[in-house]
């Protein structure tokens, strides 16, 4: 069935179609995103969130480092696969200017997150996320969602859902090799 539209209706529908087509959000099941060229990267939104010790952590504190920013939750099975990878990467690359920062999205807060971090012996810093910060990063809904951020604080790649370890390693190594 073809619906015949007037000029105004057609223009509105086309506008909506263009908006959808222009969306830059990554989705679950998308092919692994390659590193964006430096000129196409957008700045990661800054935030101020509390870590497990109550200290304020700002993303801008990490400027000059390559950052793996992982949105996760204790109830997220695929996140639990990636966390040990990130622990290993933190250990392997931290002396070269790399850091992992976890953003826990549990609605029960530290009561749920702290025992999990202790059980997993997570060796990198974790902050408690908020819906507002998730919105600033494009409306993080599916977990895990992980952003790899370059030394200038720009988002170089986004991974939605369980990615492969080698995708992260390739991203990190490429960004660490850049001045």
Q: Where does this chain bind another protein (CB under 8 A)?
A: 1-5, 9-10, 13-14, 16-17, 20, 28-29, 73-81, 105, 107, 112, 116, 141-144, 160-162
> Do 160 and 26 form a contact (C-beta atoms < 8 A)?
yes
CB of 9 to another protein, least distance (A): 7
Q: Is 20 exposed, middle or buried (0-12, 13-18, 19+ CB in 10 A)?
A: exposed
The two tokens of residue 49 are: 């969130």
CB of 139 to another protein, least distance (A): 12
Q: Looking only at Cα atoms, what is the longest distance across the chain?
A: 63
CB of 126 to another protein, least distance (A): 15
> Which residue, 54 or 77, is less far from another protein as judged by CB?
77
> Which residue, 78 or 97, is less far from another protein as judged by CB?
78
> Which residue, 49 or 66, is less far from another protein as judged by CB?
49
> Do 109 and 126 form a contact (C-beta atoms < 8 A)?
no
Specify the length of the chain in residues: 179
> Which residue, 163 or 175, is less far from another protein as judged by CB?
163
> Do 163 and 82 form a contact (C-beta atoms < 8 A)?
yes
- Beta-carbon-side half-sphere exposure of residue 146 (alpha carbons within 13 Å): 30
CB of 5 to another protein, least distance (A): 6
């Amino acid at each position: 069935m073809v619906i015949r539209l007037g000029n105004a209706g057609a223009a509105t529908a086309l506008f909506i179609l263009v908006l959808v087509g222009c969306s830059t959000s990554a989705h679950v099941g998308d092919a692994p995103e390659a590193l964006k060229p430096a000129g196409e990267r957008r700045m990661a939104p800054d935030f101020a969130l509390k870590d497990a010790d109550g200290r304020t952590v700002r993303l801008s504190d990490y400027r000059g480092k390559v950052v793996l920013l992982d949105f996760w939750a204790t109830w997220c099975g695929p996140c639990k696969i990636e966390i040990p990878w990130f622990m290993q990467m933190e250990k392997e690359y931290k002396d070269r200017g790399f850091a992992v920062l976890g953003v826990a999205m549990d609605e029960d807060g530290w009561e749920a997150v702290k025992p999990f971090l202790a059980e997993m012996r997570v060796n990198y810093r974790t902050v408690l996320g908020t819906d507002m910060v998730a919105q600033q990063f494009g409306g993080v809904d599916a977990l895990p969602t992980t952003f790899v951020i370059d030394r200038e604080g720009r988002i170089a790649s986004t991974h939605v859902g369980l990615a492969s370890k080698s995708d992260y390693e390739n991203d990190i190594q490429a960004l660490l090799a850049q001045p």
